[in-house]
Every structure is written in C-alpha cells, then in structure tokens.
C-alpha cells in the first residue's frame, strides 16, 4: 500500500513538475547543475508530507512519550529508541535535558542518540526510488540503540531523581518550542522545515554532482582496498558528531548516490545526535560525564559501522 502510494505520488510529482524539468533542461545551466536543481525540486512534496506527519505526531504524542519514558527506567532504552527512530524536531534535545535532570538513565540517553534519525528518514522518503533503504536503516539503528542502551545500563548504573520537577522548555532547530501545543505550528513549521531541508539538499546535491562529474568522489570512495573501506565508518562516525542536521542530510545523500557504504552511513547516522550533544555539554554539571557519553556514542557508532562493513565485505 505504501509503495503504491509513493508510486502514484511520484507519477503525479513528475507530471506537475514536467514543465519545470523541461525549462531547466533547456536552459544554459551545466548538466550537473540542472540535474541537481531538478532532483532537489522533486523532493519538495515528499518532504512536506513527511514533516507534516512529524508535526502531527509531536503535537499528539510527544508529551505522552516523554512522561512514559521518565517513569519507566527498565523500558527506557526500548521506548526511547522506538520514539527516537520517528523523526522529531529536537527529540535528542529533550532527552539531553531529561538526562541532565537525572530523569532518564545514561543507557536511555545513548539509545536515543543512536536511534535518532534527524533528517535521514525524511530525505530517504523524498526519493521514492530509494525507499527500500528505509527498513534496513531503521532496523540497524533500532537494533544498535536498544542493545547498546540496555548493555550500558547493565554496566554503568544510573541514579535517577524521581522527585525532580525542574524541566526547562527547549527550542528545536527552527527556534520553536519543541513541546508547544500551538496549532499554527502544525502547518507553519512543516513549511519552514521543508524549505530549510530543501536548501540543504540542493547545496549538497550540487556539491556531490560536481565532484562526481569530476570523478573525484568516485575515485576516492570506489577504492576497493580493504584498509580504506575500514576507514569509511571511522571517518563518518567522527563527522556524525558535528551537531547539525546538515550532517545527516549529507550522509544520507552520499548513501543515496552510492558514494559511501551502508556501514559507513549507519556509523555516521548513529553518532549524529544533532543539537542534543550541545545541550548535554551546556547543561550537564559533570563535564567528564558528558565527554564519556560522547566517547561511548562515537565508539558504538564506529564499531557498529565496521561490523556492518565486514558483513558486507
């Protein structure tokens, strides 16, 4: 049913933008530029629908999930991972705030970081021909997050403060209140987020198309040398720590273009916890604890990517 819906929507999308495609193709733009513009514009309807769903999900369920997660220490990594895999604007930010108030365990926090997909799923959803990648990405991130979360809680015990009521409202990437119950945001924020991500996709696609045209990226990443392949998840795992949604978009675009391996993409997407890491560093009174969490996050992400890389090889 979902595939049929995407096929129908894709056909309608191609029909609606047919005139635009013809105009761009007949322009004086270089081919790598026109291809990037056309590919990026075609993602707009899919991005908007994805972000509209995310906004409605946050509006109706975000508060309930947060309360349930705070009051369920034993199921925290499971609930946190399942909630985080659904793209939400700033879920890792909320998790960081909950952790700094000692309302969730260290394992739950890292599980949420690992599972958080940021913009990866909306970008994949905007490319119907790559929709088959969604289940492997979700499956890998969920498995890694849940297993790592429970293992960390088993090894490193966390003391929770059940009496704490001091929770400060956080802002998401678009400077709006994450948990605000404002019906205007149900429509305005998806539009704003769609435009922001579209611009990121356009810029990243232009860069990728140029380097692919010049055979620079392909000559680097098509290297079949095993020692170089091992470096891919290490590189992307470190890059993923950059607290910006552009990183998840770039990694997903590299996966879509076939420039990096699945293991490398998962390593980067697992370590990419977005702005949550900034909130952790700013609000956690124990700086060493924050550094330890970031080291654990990067180690688990890179190790998972390497394992997937070896399985692939």
**7 phi/psi in degrees, rounded to 5:** -65, -45
Could you report the average pLDDT of every consecutive run of 10 residues in the chain (313 residues)? Answer: 52 60 71 77 78 72 62 76 76 82 88 86 83 91 95 82 51 51 68 81 79 55 57 90 82 87 93 86 88 95 92 64
User: Is residue 113 a contact partner of residue 276, using CB atoms and an 8 Å limit?
Assistant: yes
Helix, strand, coil fractions of the chain, as percent rounded to 5: 75, 0, 25
pTM for this entry = 0.76
Distance CA 313, CA 310 (A): 5
Distance CA 76, CA 78 (A): 5
Domain coordinates in residue numbering, the chain: 30-157+168-312
Among candidate residues 266, 272, 270, 276, the one with its CA nearest the CA of residue 247: 272
Tokens matching residue 239: 């890059």
User: Is residue 283 a contact partner of residue 97, using CB atoms and an 8 Å limit?
Assistant: yes
Strands (E), 41-129: none
User: Is residue 187 a contact partner of residue 48, using CB atoms and an 8 Å limit?
Assistant: no
Distance CA 94, CA 75 (A): 17
User: Is residue 99 a contact partner of residue 280, using CB atoms and an 8 Å limit?
Assistant: yes
Helices (H), 185-225: 185-213, 216-221
**155 phi/psi in degrees, rounded to 5:** -85, -45
Distance CA 267, CA 233 (A): 5
Q: What is the DSSP string of 16-39?
A: HTHHHHHHHHTSSS-HHHHHHHHH
Calculate the CA 27 to chain-centre distance: 35
The DSSP letter of residue 175 is S
The SS3 call for residue 177 is strand
pLDDT at 167: 47
């Amino acid at each position: 049913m979902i595939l049929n819906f995407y096929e129908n929507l894709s056909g309608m999308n191609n029909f609606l933008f047919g005139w635009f495609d013809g105009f761009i193709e007949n322009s004086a733009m270089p081919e790598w530029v026109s291809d990037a513009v056309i590919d990026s514009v075609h993602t707009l309807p899919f991005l908007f629908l994805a972000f509209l769903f995310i906004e409605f999900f946050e509006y109706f369920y975000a508060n309930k999930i947060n309360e349930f997660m705070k009051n369920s220490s034993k199921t925290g990594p499971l609930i946190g991972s399942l909630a985080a895999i659904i793209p939400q604007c700033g879920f890792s930010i909320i998790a960081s705030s909950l952790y700094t108030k000692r309302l969730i365990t260290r394992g739950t926090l890292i599980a949420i970081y690992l599972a958080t997909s940021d913009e990866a799923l909306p970008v994949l959803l905007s490319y119907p021909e790559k929709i088959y990648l969604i289940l492997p990405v979700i499956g890998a991130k969920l498995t890694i997050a849940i297993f790592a979360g429970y293992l960390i809680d088993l090894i490193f015990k966390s003391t929770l403060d059940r009496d704490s009521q001091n929770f400060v409202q956080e802002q998401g990437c678009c400077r709006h209140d994450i948990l605000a119950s404002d019906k205007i945001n149900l429509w305005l924020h998806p539009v704003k987020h769609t435009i922001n991500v579209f611009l990121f996709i356009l810029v990243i696609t232009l860069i990728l198309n140029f380097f692919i045209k010049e055979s620079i990226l392909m000559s680097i990443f098509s290297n079949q040398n095993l020692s170089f392949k091992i470096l891919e998840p290490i590189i992307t795992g470190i890059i993923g720590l950059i607290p910006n949604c552009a990183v998840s978009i770039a990694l997903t675009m590299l996966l879509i273009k076939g420039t990096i391996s699945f293991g490398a993409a998962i390593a980067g997407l697992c370590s990419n916890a977005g702005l949550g890491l900034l909130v952790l560093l700013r609000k956690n009174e124990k700086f060493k604890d924050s550094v330890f969490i970031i080291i654990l996050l990067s180690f688990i992400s890179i190790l998972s990517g390497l394992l997937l890389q070896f399985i692939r090889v």
